[in-house]
Chain A
Amino acid sequence: SQQGEEDPQALSIQEGENATMNCSYKTSINNLQWYRQNSGRGLVHLILIRSNEREKHSGRLRVTLDTSKKSSSLLITASRAADTASYFCAPSRSYNTDKLIFGTGTRLQVFP
């Protein structure tokens, strides 16, 4: 298992704008996952991208992965106030019961 590091630590935008957050990791991975946490709640899985994929979309979410740079980005388009949350990336080295280590996350605030 390894930890991802998210950047920036905090991001404030207006509704309708796009939000981009980045993740860096240190060793080779099998897949990388993004999770969202609303205040005082558990995490919710958003999207998973495999090491042989470069880009993936899910609704308003777009994730990219650059294994040569060991980095990933999460783009939320046309943000809404309901997107206000903390976002965490989790690199994983295997498909099996790999424990996920989370970084400090990106705290996104979307103002109406």
Chain B
Amino acid sequence: GAVVSQHPSRVICKSGTSVKIECRSLDFQATTMFWYRQFPKQSLMLMATSNEGSKATYEQGVEKDKFLINHASLTLSTLTVTSAHPEDSSFYICSAYRDRKQTYNEKLFFGSGTQLSVL
């Protein structure tokens, strides 16, 4: 089956530092990936759509300069939380559609998430 690997699974950092989260599609290509964040016992909030080779599309209210997204290859998208502050502490999850030539993309494959704690 399609596997999305997300790394690291947990990170603790000091306020003001930057944190990079990687999302890799291990056995398929993904032109499009999505980044979500989730607060405890709440739903996933879509942050941005990451497109290989082009700029990410951010949802309303999400700061582009705060959350830098790079999708440099068909198997890797990264989310960098710049100058992290305690309010950025959250669970970040990436997901991807598997590119298919003959059939449509239908379901999303999710990474296992990254718990970010900013002290």
Output the least CB separation between A105 and chain B (Å): 6
Contact at B104–A104, with CB atoms within 8 Å?
no
Question: Chain B residues with Cβ under 8 A from A59's Cβ?
Answer: none
Residues of chain A within 8 A (CB-CB) of B108 are 33, 35, 43, 45, 90, 100
Q: Which residue of B lies closest to A105 (CB)?
A: B43
A87 smallest CB distance to B (angstroms): 12
Does B112 interact with chain A (Cβ within 8 Å)? yes
Cβ contact of A33, chosen from B49, B107, B110, cutoff 8 A: B107
- Contact flags A40-56 to B (C-beta < 8 A → 1, else 0): 11111100100000000
> Contact: A41 with B31, CB < 8 Å?
no
Are B111 and A97 in touch, CB under 8 angstroms?
no
Cα A43 to Cα B78 in complex, Å, equals: 19
Q: How far is the CA of A86 from the CA of B105 in the complex (A)?
A: 24
Could you tell me how many residues of chain B have their Cβ less than 8 Å away from some Cβ of chain A?
27
Contact with B along A7-33 (1 / 0, CB 8 A): 000000000000000000000000101
CB distance from A39 to the nearest CB of B (A): 10
For A, the interface residue count at a CB cutoff of 8 angstroms equals 23
- What is the chain A residue whose CB lies nearest that of B49? A99
Q: A42-B112, A102-B44, A104-B42 are in contact. Are A95 and B49 (CB under 8 A)?
A: no
Is the Cβ of A97 less than 8 Å from the Cβ of B106? Answer: no
Are A42 and B32 touching (Cβ within 8 A)? Answer: no
**Measured CA separation A105–B45 after assembly (Å):** 12
CB-based contact A40/B95 at 8 Å = no
| A25 shortest CB reach to chain B, Å | 14
Q: Flag whether B19 is at the interface (Cβ < 8 A).
A: no
* Residue A96 lies at the interface, judged by CB distance under 8 Å to chain B: yes
